[in-house]
A and B are shown apart, each in its own frame.
Chain A
């Protein structure tokens, strides 16, 4: 059973990555204290680093870590009387809460990560803390890694996380899975957090890089876990499908110098076929068995793009129809903007521009650079170059990342010295 020392190091690391969230969730469930859980979890990992190279990796590494961490928590309890009193109270509540879902037949540990998902995404926590907590507690990222992901100084992130944990404890945000009656209200919040982690990775809101694939991949990993925990929730499946179908295009989204490459100019040969297949298989699951949800419909739109050989043969009528389904579910101006862009592809730039101009008074779009970029693009296609240039300048003022600004500057340049028709791409 003995493993090579180097193999052991890797085994410990992979166990840590895979088991950290589950370990932490089990400890939180038992002791009701996130700080204590984090401390004993890392002590257990440290113990593993000492013992496993000498004694070999145990058959059930997750169970070994949990037992070790629990023992350490109990030691602390005994040492600290006031802590013990508080934890005793919390323990009573944990026992009173809904029983944990039955463990998988092949797993020795009950999976309590679902509770942690709902705690990290609790509506009583500030927005900017929710994604950070999820990455910290469920994905097992260190605080400096989370800080890097959100491009804030580590001290700022540490403070944000400490405050959130303090609120969880002081305001008694419970570690629990909402009941079936509450789930429809609370689950969208969890999905929203995952999706915002993903979009931060897909299109960073600021900073030098357009994409942060590591962050997008963490979001996908967490969505896979969530789907395993809530297999019947179709929007969880829809969100996972959406993220896979969008992330499959990551390699083609940026050029050699990190510049933005739009869908129409992407080398579709660089799309990740395996990921597309995986996403495509999930779309029907997300869309059958009840009324469609926003993530499922968005995944269906992403699927139509991924299946098309090029922009012209893309099924625009169906994409427009899907945006109409989305608008019925959520009449938001951003969805209306995307529908207008799809209509422009189906019926020509005139039709698209008319729809965009109807949206001109929308408060949310006025400061949203994609609106102005989309308008500029259609004006350019119609040969109204002065107006196109003005719209590109407005989009430039609003764009957050350098690659997006560079892309807009290139487009703006093209309105000033127009390229022959159809040679804008290269």
Chain B
């Protein structure tokens, strides 16, 4: 699984800067095209399992249940999170090196972003 992290702009979590910024500069259009290209490459390679791009961070809500069973609901992600999950791909590849190659090609790995590669846990059959 490739977790696409965008660097958080500030502690308030206004971290969804970047690709679809409102400036409409040619830079962001170029970024968008890169995402389209990457998405196509992943699907064409036959390794795509699933994937989503997550909506803007202001729509995020965090739920946590304390030891007393009390539910606490907080607006946004935890403030201490430095990087903000922007989306993910689940891909089916034979080993870590191949996954790292795909992660490196992901536009989200560039600039202040990063891509975390994590195997999906296999609980056996």
**A binding-site residues for B, Cβ under 8 Å:** 82, 85, 93, 96, 122, 124, 170-174, 176, 178
Contacts and interface: CB of A to CB of B under 8 A. Distances in A.
Would you call the interface of chain A mostly helix, strand, loop, or mixed? loop
Given A170-B119, A171-B119, A172-B119, A85 B125 contact: yes
B23 to A, nearest CB: 35
A163 B97 CA distance: 19
B114 to A, nearest CB: 14
Contact of B94 (A85, A96, A122): A96
Closest 9 CB pairs of A and B: A174-B95, A172-B95, A173-B96, A171-B96, A172-B96, A93-B94, A174-B97, A171-B119, A170-B119
A35 B57 CA distance: 43
Interface residues of B, number: 12
A172 B94 contact: yes
A93 B94 CA distance: 7
Given A82-B124, A85-B125, A93 B119 contact: no
Nearest to B124: A82
A14 to B, nearest CB: 35
Interface in B94-125: 94-100, 117-119, 124-125
A170 B94 CA distance: 12
A124 B95 contact: no
A125 to B, nearest CB: 10
13 contacts: A82-B124, A93-B95, A124-B96, A124-B100, A171-B96, A171-B118, A172-B94, A172-B95, A172-B119, A174-B97, A176-B95, A176-B97, A178-B97
A173 B100 CA distance: 10
Given A171-B117, A171-B118, 6 more contacts: A85-B125, A93-B95, A172-B95, A173-B95, A174-B96, A174-B98
A124 B124 CA distance: 24
A95 to B, nearest CB: 11
A178 B100 CA distance: 13
B31 to A, nearest CB: 26
A84 to B, nearest CB: 12
Contacts of A93: 94-95
Contacts of B94: 93, 96, 172, 174
A224 to B, nearest CB: 27
A172 B97 CA distance: 8
Residue in A85, A124, A178 with the greatest tally of chain B CB atoms within 10 Å: A124
Nearest to B99: A172
Nearest to A82: B124
Contacts of A173: 95-97
A93 to B, nearest CB: 5
A34 to B, nearest CB: 14
A346 to B, nearest CB: 45
A96 B93 CA distance: 13
A373 B118 CA distance: 45
Nearest to B94: A93
Residue in A174, A176, A178 with the greatest tally of chain B CB atoms within 10 Å: A174
A178 B125 CA distance: 32
Contacts of A174: 94-98
A172 B117 CA distance: 11
A93 B99 CA distance: 14
Nearest to B100: A124
Contacts of B117: 171
Residue in B97, B118, B119, B125 with the greatest tally of chain A CB atoms within 10 Å: B97
A180 B119 CA distance: 27
Interface in B11-68: none
Contacts of A85: 125
A174 B98 CA distance: 9
Residue in B95, B99, B100, B119 with the greatest tally of chain A CB atoms within 10 Å: B95
A174 B93 CA distance: 11
B26 to A, nearest CB: 32
A50 B8 CA distance: 63
A227 B41 CA distance: 38
Nearest to A89: B94
A91 B58 CA distance: 47
A174 B100 CA distance: 12
Interface string B65-103: 000000000000000000000000000001111111000
Contacts of A178: 97
Nearest to A172: B95
A31 to B, nearest CB: 15
Nearest to A122: B96
Contacts of B96: 122, 124, 171-174
A96 B119 CA distance: 21
A122 B95 CA distance: 13
A312 to B, nearest CB: 52
